Chain A
Amino acid sequence: MAPPRRTITIDPVTRIEGHAKITIQLDAAGAVETARFHVTEYRGFEKFCEGRPFTEMAAITARICGICPVSHLLAAAKTGDKILAVTIPPTAEKLRRLMNLAQITQSHALSFFHLSSPDFLLGWDSDPARRNVFGLIAANPDLARAGIRLRQFGQGVIEALGGRKIHAAWSVPGGVREPLGEETRDRISAGLPEAFAITERALGLFKTLLDTQLGEELEVFGSFPSLFLGLVGPGGLWEHHRGAEAGCGIRIVDSDGQIVADGLREDDYASFLAEAVEPWSYLKFPYVRALGPEAGSYRVGPLARLNLCERIGTEQADRELLELRQRGGRVVTASFLYHLARLIEILACLEQMQQLLDDPTITATHVRARAGVNAHEAVGVSEAPRGTLFHHYRVDENGLIEAVNLIIATGQNNGAMNRTVTQIARHYLSGERLTEGLLNRVEAGIRCFDPCLSCSTHAAGQMPLLVELVGADGQLRDVLRRD
């Protein structure tokens, strides 16, 4: 008789955006054999967009997510620009960038303060009922308030530009719908000093934690070599929005810092990216086509963007980038440093927002180009907070959608997230010893990547956690429950 194998299931994974579960396979000796991150929801946007006018795509695809609707709004509008075959007014391009910077700021603030910081500020093994943003409010009200204020600032900028915080139908094919008034510009500028102060404080705090008590996490939470992929600007500058139309391109580097590919155009994504499918997850596994599913697995998002760029191009963020590289190497492979990368990117966003707001042309009123359908296929790219986002549409002669392909940032980190949970499970878990705090570390490995799975909003800390230890014979051996 074969030795019994056991499965531990963490379902659902909490404090992430969307629905997922983790299963951990133990062998007969109780050692971790494999761990898998399953995305358990199916949404079907690519199918039900068929037959709709391409002009609706920004509004429809923004509904993919309540956290990062701006990413889809911008990628859809950029794809629409290419279907119109227009160069959008320069001010429209700047305003879109401004909104994306605000979006990255608010999303990163949510990830760091609301979702992840309770783990390292309150402790991996602290009471799960309090290990959330409410526990953080009780334990460190100033920091919790600061995090909420920073996210509020980013959301406020989105609202000031688009008329509402979530699902603002503002970026459209050809540009944006409303210009920025001087009064609104000044109001946004007035919020920047507080946002800078909060970010600098969080950076200081997190770096201290890294130096004093998070050494093991750096080694264990998804530390492995892989490729990194994302947009870079001309001269290798950090980039978050512009694609081939502005001389920016997609770069791929390996863990040694070697540039594997550079200047790739988003239009050609299908030639350099492919997607693998596994029967146990609704989330596909993209990889670099030329290297195959294993060697071609790559990471995207804040850490990837910082690894890819030569420099950010603003003073404070570049100083922090240098320090990050001193800490983790020229190409940082420790996924736990995604958290630090997020804070550095917030700083970069704030500095670049300041630059854009100081530009006198930001309030120009010509912000939309109008045209008919001049191309039947287009690919738009944008850097979402979580990584590179591709929208690919094919339309008929009247502009009705015939086919859609969306490559979402979170999907591209799928391989890395699976490797991360396996690495953490192997390090911490054995069949003999099961505690909620140890399983929380497995979940936290996923939180490093801030995945946006639905992408829909879920209140932090509200979801129950059920862990079942099941024997190879299907008998329930042990249950851990967090209501």
Chain B
Amino acid sequence: MSVRTLRIDGRDLAVPEGTTLLQAAREAGIAIPTLCHLEGLSPVAACRLCLVEIEGTDKLLPACITPASEGMVVQTATPRLQDIRRTVVELLFTEGNHVCAICVANGHCELQDLAVTTGMDHSRLPYRFPARRVDLSHPFFGLDHNRCILCTRCVRVCDEVEGAHVWDVGWRGEHCRIIAGLDEPWGAVDACTNCGKCVQVCPTGALFHKGDTTAEKHDEPAQLQALVHARHHQQWNP
């Protein structure tokens, strides 16, 4: 196994070839915020929160999919990056209808946590207040498009882990939204196995258990890693 040596935030690191900058940083205890990324699912670099600065290029690169290469000098928390991250979070808040006070995920929401860690005490951008719907057609779960940030964790977990591929992203541009089946009510999609993994990995209150009220969603997305790890190592085989 070949090794790559690099420097992140002034710290010299040596990591195996193929390691992403995000993995390298986290192993070294350097926190880089993420939202669409979840260990156990394929990375998509959609949210742009993990952008980092790399010496020698003006382009900001997402740490979740950028492999560490020899001699890289990486900055993860410059004022420029911090401002970009705050702006990304502001865009997410203003693009949807995120009302924490009444949300099922209040207190257990990754978007809310990021607003705190990026210092978003208010939005510098105007709120769009889009008219979006709630789908409660499933017997156990609900989908509130108002709270969806299109991270596609649900799409990936259903496809890659459960193998049911209930979810996709439909439409274009600002009209993009998560769709079930062929853009049907969730409850009408036969492919759904009712496993609830999509609810488990959703970083916000967009996917939730029906009947839950404010702040009652306590799902733990990281539990997915245990499941994926156990499968990979066939822990449950006799």
Contact = CB atoms under 8 A, between A and B. Distances in A.
A398 B211 contact: no
A370 B211 CA distance: 8
B28 interface: no
A177 interface: yes
Interface string A398-420: 11100000000000000000000
Contact of A55 (B133, B137, B139, B212): B212
B137 A58 contact: no
A53 B214 contact: no
Contact of A60 (B102, B137, B215): B102
A52 B104 CA distance: 12
Contacts of B214: 56, 58-59, 169
B134 A169 contact: no
A399 B133 contact: no
B213 A58 contact: yes
A398 B215 CA distance: 21
Contacts of A55: 210-213
Task: Identify whether the interface residues of A are mostly helix, strand, loop, or mixed.
Answer: loop
A63 B102 contact: yes
Nearest to B187: A398
A51 B213 contact: no
Interface size classification for chain A: 10 to 19
B101 interface: yes
A15 interface: no
B165 to A, nearest CB: 24
Contact of B213 (A59, A63, A398, A399): A59
Interface string A345-386: 000000000000000000000000010100000000000000
B215 A53 contact: no
B162 interface: no
Contacts of B187: 398
Interface in B60-116: 101-102
B102 A56 contact: yes
A55 B136 CA distance: 11
A60 B213 CA distance: 11
Contacts of B216: 177
B142 interface: yes
Contacts of A167: 101
A172 interface: yes
Nearest to B144: A53
A307 to B, nearest CB: 36
A371 to B, nearest CB: 8
A177 B218 CA distance: 14
Interface of B: prevailing SS = loop
**B: interface residue count bin:** 10 to 19
B213 A52 contact: no
A53 B102 contact: no
Nearest to B99: A60
A53 B101 contact: no
Interface in A44-62: 51-53, 55-56, 58-60
Interface string B196-213: 000000000000001111
A172 B213 contact: yes
Contacts of A60: 102
A177 B213 contact: yes
Contacts of B210: 53, 55, 372, 399
B141 to A, nearest CB: 11
Contact of B102 (A51, A59, A398): A59
B136 A400 contact: yes
B111 to A, nearest CB: 18
Interface in B115-151: 133-134, 136-137, 139, 142, 144
A172 B101 CA distance: 15
A372 B142 CA distance: 13
A103 B66 CA distance: 56
Given A53-B134, A398-B136, A63 B212 contact: no
Contacts of A398: 136-137, 187
Interface string A163-198: 000010100110001000000000000000000000
A52 B134 contact: yes
B104 to A, nearest CB: 8
Contacts of A372: 139, 210-211
Nearest to A371: B211
Contact of B136 (A53, A58, A173): A53
B148 to A, nearest CB: 15
A370 B209 CA distance: 12
A51 B102 CA distance: 14
A60 B106 CA distance: 13
Interface in A114-164: none
Contacts of B212: 55
Contacts of A370: 211
> Could you say which of B101, B211, B212 has the most chain A C-beta atoms within 10 Å of its C-beta?
B211
A63 B211 CA distance: 20
Given A59-B102, A63-B101, A63-B102, A169 B213 contact: yes
Given A56-B102, A177-B216, A51 B133 contact: yes
Contacts of A399: 136, 210
Interface string A19-56: 00000000000000000000000000000000111011
Contacts of A173: 211, 213
A398 B136 CA distance: 6
Interface in A431-448: none
Contact of B134 (A58, A172, A177, A400): A400
A400 B102 CA distance: 15
Nearest to B215: A169
A167 B144 CA distance: 22
A408 to B, nearest CB: 19
Contacts of B133: 51
Interface of B: 101-102, 133-134, 136-137, 139, 142, 144, 187, 210-216
> Lowest 9 CB-CB distances: which A-B pairs, in order?
A398-B136, A169-B214, A59-B102, A59-B214, A172-B213, A55-B213, A60-B102, A56-B102, A399-B136
20 contacts: A51-B133, A51-B134, A53-B136, A53-B144, A55-B210, A55-B213, A56-B102, A56-B213, A59-B101, A59-B102, A60-B102, A63-B102, A167-B101, A169-B215, A173-B211, A177-B213, A370-B211, A399-B136, A399-B210, A400-B136
Given A52-B134, A55-B210, 17 more contacts: A51-B133, A53-B134, A53-B144, A55-B213, A56-B213, A58-B213, A59-B102, A59-B213, A59-B214, A60-B102, A169-B215, A177-B213, A177-B216, A372-B210, A372-B211, A399-B136, A400-B136
